[in-house]
Amino acid sequence: MTYTVSSLDKLLTGKSTGSEPGAVWLVGAGPGDVDLLTVKALRLIESAEVVVYDRLVSPEILALAPPEALCIDVGKTPGFHGMKQAQINQLLVDLAATGRQVVRLKGGDPFIFGRGGEEMSWVQQAGIACHIVPGITAAIGCAAATGIPLTHRDMAQSVRFITGHGRDGKPQLDWQSLQDKRQTLVFYMGLTWCQALSQQLIGHGRDADTPVAIVERGTRRDQRVIITRLQQLAECVARQQPQSPSLLIVGEVVKMYRQPPEATQCSFFEMTDAVC
pLDDT per position as a tens digit, 122-168: 999 999 999 999 999 999 999 999 999 999 999 999 999 999 876 66
The CATH number given to whatever domain includes residue 116 is: 3.40.1010.10
- Is residue 246 domain-shared with residue 178, that is, in the same domain? yes
Taking a C-beta distance cutoff of 8 angstroms, is the pair 23, 50 a contact? no
- Is residue 128 domain-shared with residue 145, that is, in the same domain? no
Instruction: State yes or no: is 40 an active-site residue.
Output: no
Q: Of all residues in the chain, what percent are helix, strand and coil, respectively (each to 5)?
A: 35, 25, 45
56, 43, 158: which is closest to 101 by C-alpha? 43
- Is residue 227 domain-shared with residue 150, that is, in the same domain? yes
- Is residue 211 domain-shared with residue 195, that is, in the same domain? yes
Task: Quote the CA–CA distance of 30 and 36 in Å, as a whole number.
Answer: 6
Residue 97 lies in a domain: yes
- Is residue 206 domain-shared with residue 234, that is, in the same domain? yes
Please state the length of the chain: 276
- Is residue 7 domain-shared with residue 116, that is, in the same domain? yes
- Is residue 188 domain-shared with residue 242, that is, in the same domain? yes
Residue 187 lies in a domain: yes
Residue 116 lies in a domain: yes
Last residue of a domain, one of 133, 165, 195: 133
Instruction: State yes or no: is 180 an active-site residue.
Output: no
Residue 244 lies in a domain: yes
- Is residue 197 domain-shared with residue 216, that is, in the same domain? yes
Residue 239 lies in a domain: yes
Count of structural domains, the chain: 2
CA distances 202 to 64, 65, 181, 230, 249, Å, are 45, 46, 11, 8, 15
Active-site residue, from 15, 40, 76, 207:
76
- Is residue 12 domain-shared with residue 119, that is, in the same domain? yes
- Is residue 54 domain-shared with residue 152, that is, in the same domain? no
Predicted model pTM: 0.86
The CATH number given to whatever domain includes residue 242 is: 3.30.950.10
- Is residue 194 domain-shared with residue 103, that is, in the same domain? no
* Orientation of helix 233-240 relative to helix 194-203, angle to 10°: 160
205, 214, 167, 206: which is closest to 186 by C-alpha? 214
Last residue of a domain, one of 69, 102, 133: 133
pLDDT at 3: 47
Taking a C-beta distance cutoff of 8 angstroms, is the pair 171, 197 a contact? yes
Residue-level pLDDT, tens digit, the chain, 276 residues = 444 544 555 565 555 445 577 999 999 999 999 999 999 999 999 999 999 999 999 999 999 999 999 999 998 765 555 689 999 999 999 999 999 999 999 999 999 999 999 999 999 999 999 999 999 999 999 999 999 999 999 999 999 999 987 666 677 799 999 999 999 999 999 999 999 999 999 999 999 999 999 999 999 999 999 999 999 999 999 999 999 999 999 999 999 998 765 543 343 444 444 334
What range does the domain containing 91 cover?
A: 2-133
- Is residue 196 domain-shared with residue 112, that is, in the same domain? no
Residue 274 lies in a domain: no
Residue 275 lies in a domain: no
Residues 6 or more apart whose Cβ sits within 8 Å of residue 259: 225, 268, 270
Residue 211 lies in a domain: yes
- Respond yes or no on whether the N-terminal peptide bond of residue 245 is cis (omega within 30° of 0): yes
Determine the 3-state secondary structure of 143 from DSSP: helix
Last residue of a domain, one of 79, 100, 133: 133
